Structure 1
Amino acid sequence: MMWSYAFFLLFALLTLGSAFLLLSLRKTLHAVFAAMGAFLGLAALYFLLGAEFVAAVQILVYAGAVTILAAFGVMLSRHREEGRTTTGEILGLVSALSFFLLVAAFLWKARFPLLGAPGEGFVRLHDIGELAFDPAYGLAVVLGGLLLALALIGAVLVAREDEP
């Protein structure tokens, strides 16, 4: 077996295992970290498929920003952990299983053409990096960081229990 297949299998199992943990964990913060594992597994799969830019965006946006946002949302909110009902769990399991079987049946019957090498209009990751770190965009990046910092400070002030 080639190494690429072994790595694909490893990262696919990591992604599926993290997604299963995401759905089965009772504590919300633990589920957020399981979602981060699923996002990182997807990024590794994108990297194996040769889509380095999509993998980088997956890591930055989903594994980074969305996971941190969800973790802040869980930690800054006042909530109680509630148990799930058995009827809801069974209904969710049946729905997920039937969706999985439907997608598997579609993929089994579908015929996908083999793709060739990228054409002349192909943009490399290096070109995107040079464009993203162009000094002309420096002010926009700094202002975006300042806006995010102000939003975080505002969230902490709103979540504080005692009055200033």
Structure 2
Amino acid sequence: MRIALIVGINYYEHGGSLHGCVNDAHEVKAVLERHDGGAVNFDCRLLTGTGPTDRVNRGELKDQIEQLFKTDADIALFYFAGHGHIEATGGYLLATDSSRGDEGVSLTEILTLANNSPAKNKIIYVNSLIRSPGEPEKATARPPASSQPAPKKATPATPKPVPSASHKPGEIPSFNFNPSPNKADLI
């Protein structure tokens, strides 16, 4: 059995909402859920935070992560797209209701849950913008469309290997996560 918890949060109560995280989560779910031939690949649980009535609260996020890593699966995969926060005590993944960075779910705690999990293989993929809730977004000026250069021709994407690191048997490595998702990384 392969299970995945896929989280995408665009909406944050205390400001700094994002765009695209929920879409990324849906894309990851579509890639993982079925093989090319249509056979089931992963049993996916999707959590999204799109607005005041569609939220991912800290308690729910933490409970779902704990449940994921309690399962005796062949693969337990956790994907998160949303805000993150780093401070002297460590890093955190922020939920819709986080008002301070340290009110998120601790990355150290997530790694501990994964290391202690009966799952045979554990994958953690974090696509997170590191910023405190409520911190104003930096304004980005964009020239009018008529003054922008013509877009370059797209080149086909080359699949990249999933990052790995040396670690003790039975433990997953701690490493810096790639800040930009690439569906090819998950294939």
* TM-score, L = length of structure 2: 0.24
Q: TM-score normalized by structure 1?
A: 0.26
Q: For the pair shown, which has the larger CA radius of gyration, 1 or 2? A: 1
Higher share in strand: 2
